[in-house]
Amino acid sequence: MMKCRKCGEKAAVNMRQHKLALCKQHYLEWVPEQAERFIKKYRMFTPEERILVAVSGGKDSLSLWDILIRLGYQADGLYISLGIDEGLGYSRQSQALCETFAARHGLKLHVVDVAREYGYTIPALAEKSRRGQGKPCAVCGLTKRHEMNRIARDWGYDVLATGHNLDDEAAVLFGNTLAWAGDYLRRQGPVLPAGPGLARKVKPLCRFYEREMAAYAFLRGIEYIYDECPFAQGATSLYYKAILNRMENERPGLKLTFYLNFLEARQAGLFGPASGAADEELHPCPGCGQPTSAPGLCSFCRLVQK
């Protein structure tokens, strides 16, 4: 029987990558302790700052919110309703789970409905855009980034936190490495500094395995949306995750080493000066005021005005 390293009771979670097994109680203490360590190490935010947590109703973002509150940070939630139904009521269910979580913990949740704001749901926006014929993921990502930035700016939040875990980050890194996408590699990291009109972006879960976050949500009794977004099937990120997990299975710790060695290389300047949002010349979009790299409307305003 696998035993908890701290108390010798039966272990609930075994992490081969850390050579560490813990019982339920010690696992639920270990996760926020580690999160706090990463928040401080990467200078993500301080207890005085106001954090906006982007919540989707999934295990990672709701667990992140839970962890930040347990650690005593000032964290409000933001749910962006994308209008994804596909006969499953996917967005409606996700929103209900976020609302239940917020109500149960007495937390403030902002809800933005994309269709109400702009007249189109994400599938409808994807239909009318050349960018997303049949596959709304690119349009969805663009919209979410735009709305997260807008709400953080309009409501005066210092920091925008997302629930990206290690598997998410390793999959993106893997894709960017295969493409030698230097600019993306230079900008990927636990913190993207604030720019003019843009809040700092942070990923406090970036060193937690996806399995660790699922175990946290399960053991904390957090109700989250278990079903995959109906559009995620066949997503490239899932393909990269599957490959990385095959390698992880043979070599425990590989995903973490891949990511941490990347961060070190990036810090050492392998991809150029390690900087963030403010390193290229940006212009305010005449439509929404958010910074954009080319003069004229930003990609989001072009998308909704078509």
Partner 1 sequence: MSVKLILREREYELRPGMTLLSCLQKLDILPETVLATRDGELIEEDEILQDGQVIKLVAVISGG
Interface with partner 1 by CB under 8 A: which residues? Answer: 1-2, 11-14, 21, 24, 58-60, 137, 140, 167, 209-211, 213-215, 218-219, 226, 228-229, 231-233, 235, 237-238, 241-242, 245-246, 248-249
Distance in Å, CB of 57 to partner 1, minimum: 11
- Cβ nearer to partner 1, comparing 191 with 217: 217
- Cβ nearer to partner 1, comparing 157 with 240: 240
Q: Residue 278 has what DSSP assignment?
A: G
Distance in Å, CB of 48 to partner 1, minimum: 32
Distance in Å, CB of 38 to partner 1, minimum: 20
Distance in Å, CB of 69 to partner 1, minimum: 22
- Cβ nearer to partner 1, comparing 14 with 93: 14
- Cβ nearer to partner 1, comparing 67 with 285: 67
Distance in Å, CB of 249 to partner 1, minimum: 5
Distance in Å, CB of 59 to partner 1, minimum: 8
Instruction: With CA atoms as reference, report the closest residue to 301 among 194, 143, 152.
Output: 143
Q: What is the Cα–Cα distance from 197 to 149, expressed in whole angstroms?
A: 8
- Cβ nearer to partner 1, comparing 60 with 66: 60
Distance in Å, CB of 288 to partner 1, minimum: 24
Question: Contact at 8 Å (CB) between 78 and 187?
Answer: no
Question: Contact at 8 Å (CB) between 77 and 102?
Answer: yes
Distance in Å, CB of 144 to partner 1, minimum: 10
Q: How many CA atoms lie within 13 A of 191 on its CB side?
A: 17
Q: Which two tokens stand for residue 68?
A: 């930040």
- CA torsion through residues 227, 228, 233, 237, sign: negative
For residue 120, what are the CA distances in angstroms to 53, 91, 129, 145? Answer: 24, 14, 11, 16
Q: What is the Cα–Cα distance from 236 to 227, expressed in whole angstroms?
A: 18
- Cβ nearer to partner 1, comparing 28 with 112: 28
In this structure, the strands spanning 50-54 and 191-192 are unpaired
Q: What is the Cα–Cα distance from 87 to 124, expressed in whole angstroms?
A: 15
Q: What is the largest CA-CA distance in the chain?
A: 63
Q: Which residue has the tokens 């066949």?
A: 234
- Cβ nearer to partner 1, comparing 51 with 140: 140
Which amino acid is present at 94?
Answer: S
Question: Contact at 8 Å (CB) between 240 and 246?
Answer: no
- Cβ nearer to partner 1, comparing 122 with 288: 122
